[in-house]
Amino acid sequence: MKRIAVLGATGSIGASTLDIVARHPDRFRVTALAAHRNVTALADLCARFRPELAVIADPACESELRARLTEAGVTCRVAAGPAALIEAAAGTHCDTVVAAIVGAAGLESTLAAARAGKRLLLANKEAIVMAGPLLLAALAEGGGELLPLDSEHNAVFQCLPGGRPNLAAAGVRRILLTASGGPFRGLKASDLVEVTPERACAHPNWRMGRKISVDSATLMNKGLEVIEAHYLFDAPAERIEVVVHPQSIVHSLVEYVDGSVLAQLGNPDMRTAIACALAWPERVEAGVTPLDLLKIARLDFEAPDLATFRCLDLAYRALAAGGTATAILNAANEEAVAAFLDGRLPFLAIPETIERCLAGLGATAAIDLATVLDADLTARRDAQRIIATLSARTHKSAP
């Protein structure tokens, strides 16, 4: 029986994870649930799964959570704040941690799970983007294992012998990450001037949260995945390529030196990757609709448009710069996306904000967590300044 802590339980990854857990009560037990500030949803999940620990990241919501759980007759322990998230990730109540907190907020708890030797199921790509070397060092220290939940990286994991081998020894030539192209595939910059958050979040294939949906629309999501693949599989940037595949059926491919190309296929449903990681090396039923190749009929592939969707190129540049550059990239992107979703920044100003941050803040060696967090904070402040300037420019030029 695997004892599972789900961090980010009220998000889309959390929901998919808990759906699989509910299908296999003989295999999995939820022992900790954590959410940011959605008290109602977290309380409902606690009433259903009866964890030992419930954590709300925002301390201002703790009393409301306690009251709701008491009303529902749930007797689990309640905690709040960053230290409680770390306890949920590293405590003795669990052996498996699903790290699905969105953004930089999930970094410290992810590192704590790794240091504690947990089986770490990583959906929080920002943690490895910001602090890849630190995460790998924490895994080595704790002696645990990391299994990726991103559909693309999980696909690569499945196509490699042993999951995460030495690529050179395994005879790997290239890793090919597939991208759907998002809702604006085929459009040019002139078509994207008046993009609204609703349009950017209307992904054609996947049902995701608003932040990751915008990242998909800008191709930043794929840029973050390139950085993630670099650390997960110890792959140099020149061996990681992105190919646009609008059907989202081939989730990624691995090319070998003998000419073989292995691909993992499946319907666009995150439960496939999550079930793979939860049960690995076994397989369990995930509730996913079987793939009907005859119904799909065709699979298309094309090169990404880096001139229109510049975020992917910016991610490659940050990876090449090394050190804290990827933390700066991630922080600037989070701030820019939040401003876009709030109506304070045009869609096309997202990459401009990131580019200005990368140019204005020099990267330093990411020697420890304090250095990474300082780079993150500095980049956020710089991004906010840039956003204010770009927003004022936009309003000034509006008719």
355-374 pLDDT tens trace: 999 999 989 999 999 999 99
Element (H, E) at 250: strand 250-256
Q: What confidence tier does 207 reach under pLDDT thresholds 50, 70, 90?
A: low
Does the annotation flag 126 for ligand binding? yes
- Give the separation between CA 21 and CA 98, rounded to whole angstroms: 12
Q: Mention every residue, 6+ apart, whose C-beta is less than 8 A from residue 83.
A: none
Does the annotation flag 12 for ligand binding? yes
CB 82 within 8 A of CB 108: yes
Report the SS3 class of residue 319.
Answer: helix
Calculate what percentage of the chain has a pLDDT beyond 70.
97
Does the annotation flag 152 for ligand binding? yes
How much is the pLDDT for 396? 55
How much is the pLDDT for 153? 95
Does the annotation flag 267 for ligand binding? no
pLDDT above 80 (res 311): yes
Element (H, E) at 30: strand 28-35
Does the annotation flag 211 for ligand binding? no
Tens of pLDDT, residue by residue over 230-248, are: 999 999 999 999 999 999 9
How much is the pLDDT for 394? 66
Of 38-47, 97-106, 162-171, 202-211, where does mean pLDDT reach its minimum?
202-211
Tens of pLDDT, residue by residue over 150-198, are: 999 999 999 998 877 788 888 999 999 999 988 899 999 999 999 998 8
Structure-block tokens of residue 359: 């140019």
Does the annotation flag 221 for ligand binding? yes
Mean pLDDT of 132-150: 94
pLDDT above 70 (res 271): yes
- Give the separation between CA 17 and CA 51, rounded to whole angstroms: 14
CA 315 to chain CA centroid, Å, is 15
pTM score, two decimals?
0.91
Does the annotation flag 16 for ligand binding? no
How much is the pLDDT for 268? 92
45, 210, 233, 350, 387 from 338: Cα distances, Å: 27, 9, 30, 10, 10
CB 69 within 8 A of CB 44: no
Does the annotation flag 75 for ligand binding? no
pLDDT above 90 (res 316): yes
Residue 291 is classified by DSSP as P
Q: Mention every residue, 6+ apart, whose C-beta is less than 8 A from residue 309.
A: 184, 218, 219, 351
- Give the separation between CA 145 and CA 118, rounded to whole angstroms: 7
Phi, then psi, of 348 in degrees rounded to 5: -70, -10
Does the annotation flag 333 for ligand binding? no
Does the annotation flag 355 for ligand binding? no
Tens of pLDDT, residue by residue over 39-70, are: 999 999 999 999 999 999 999 999 999 999 99
Does the annotation flag 108 for ligand binding? no
Does the annotation flag 216 for ligand binding? yes
Does the annotation flag 240 for ligand binding? no
pLDDT above 70 (res 395): no
